[in-house]
């Protein structure tokens, strides 16, 4: 399969909001080149005695978001949606082509091992960690389903799980994407995971990632929409869970509040993310309205995560 590459030229300030809008229309394969963010990185407290000249060239380049779309029916529809979104903002863009063999090499450079929270390490399959420092290693490769561990919202949720999972918990992951949150929970010691998503592709990717991490027997992936299908909603809410995760978007999280309240066990924890900073208060208000107490909030760039429990 070949791919379309769409370069979108925008500002540093516009980057976070536009990437959120991309995810809202189902586009997750993108890479950002932000010279302002790179400049901030260079000016931090670390000391570097050598930096490659071609790396420094990033400072001279425009702020660019590159989207990768497959040349198939789904990719064609996504490209049309993307063009409409670009047009609404008035951004400049250009489109190119990339062969499958080139893509196989190019995307790998954006994914490296990441330490998260108390005791977790995430890495793609082609990377080797010589010293895990006693951390649990979650191995996952990027795919068309959201969740490779690089996005701030995924990291915030996984970090929360490193402090919430102590052993034998039963987890419900709403909007599981690649299955990364549930798989992370299992590797940290959870007993079982029910992973739910509206996308059929997520079922396949979740199974593949569970197999890669040797937790297939502990995770159940189910496709359905709890907001539109009453029977499916009743099926999910017929069970209760120690931990519920939902890394989606604010409006969907708010709409799922009745489900969260019905499914979360006493003394259980709800972890929600995918929330842009200016929507955090909306989500908190909805939590309080449905009988939750906020236990913790966390932030990465413009993204927020909230950990809550049911009021006693």
- 247-293 pLDDT, tens digit per residue, is 999 999 999 999 999 999 999 999 999 999 999 999 999 999 999 99
What pLDDT, on a 0 to 100 scale, did the predictor assign at position 149?
A: 79
Distance CA(188)–CA(18), nearest Å, equals 33
What's the mean pLDDT when you consider all of the chain?
Answer: 88
Structural fold of domain 3-105: Alpha-Beta Plaits (3.30.70)
Please list the residues that pair with 121 across neighbouring strands.
115, 137
Domain range summary for the chain, segments of one domain joined by +: 3-105, 111-310
- What was the pLDDT predicted at 304? 96
Q: Do domains 3-105 and 111-310 have the same CATH topology?
A: no
- For residues 223 and 201, give the distance between their C-alpha atoms in angstroms, rounded to a whole number: 9
Q: Evaluate whether the domain defined by 111-310 bears CATH number 3.30.360.10.
A: no
**Per-residue model confidence (pLDDT) at position 49:** 35
pLDDT tens digits for range 57-73: 545 567 889 999 988 89
pLDDT in tens, 80-138: 999 999 999 999 999 998 776 655 566 667 678 999 999 999 998 888 899 999 999 99
Q: pLDDT at position 217, please?
A: 98
Is the whole model's pTM more than 0.75, yes or no?
no
CA distance 146 to 140: 12
**Alpha carbon distance 266, 100 (integer Å):** 49
Would you say residue 144 has pLDDT above 50? no
């Amino acid at each position: 399969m070949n791919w379309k590459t769409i370069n979108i030229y925008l500002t540093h300030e516009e980057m976070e909001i536009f990437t959120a809008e991309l995810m809202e229309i189902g586009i997750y394969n993108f890479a950002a080149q932000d010279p302002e963010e790179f400049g901030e990185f260079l000016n931090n407290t670390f000391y570097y005695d050598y930096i490659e000249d071609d790396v420094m060239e990033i400072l001279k380049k425009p702020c660019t978001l590159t989207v990768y779309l497959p040349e198939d029916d789904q990719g064609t529809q996504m490209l049309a949606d993307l063009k409409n979104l670009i047009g609404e903002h008035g951004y400049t863009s250009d489109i190119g082509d990339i062969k499958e063999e080139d893509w196989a090499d190019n995307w790998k450079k954006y994914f490296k091992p990441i330490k998260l929270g108390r005791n977790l390490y995430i890495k793609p399959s082609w990377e080797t960690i010589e010293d895990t420092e006693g951390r649990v290693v979650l191995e996952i490769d990027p795919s068309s389903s959201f969740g490779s561990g690089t996005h701030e919202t995924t990291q915030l949720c996984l970090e929360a799980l490193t402090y919430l999972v102590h052993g034998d918990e039963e987890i419900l992951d709403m909007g599981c994407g690649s299955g990364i949150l549930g798989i992370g929970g299992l590797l940290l010691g959870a007993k079982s995971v029910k992973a739910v998503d509206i996308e059929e592709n997520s079922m396949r990717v979740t199974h593949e990632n569970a197999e890669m991490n040797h937790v297939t027997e502990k995770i159940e992936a189910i496709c359905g929409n709890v907001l539109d299908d009453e029977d499916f909603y009743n099926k999910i809410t017929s069970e209760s869970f120690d931990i519920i995760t939902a890394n989606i978007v604010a409006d969907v999280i708010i709409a799922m509040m009745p489900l969260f309240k019905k499914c979360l066990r006493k003394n259980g924890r709800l972890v929600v993310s995918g929330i842009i900073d200016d929507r955090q208060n909306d989500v908190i208000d909805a939590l309080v309205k449905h009988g939750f107490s906020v236990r913790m909030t966390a932030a990465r760039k413009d993204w927020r995560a909230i950990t809550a429990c049911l009021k006693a």
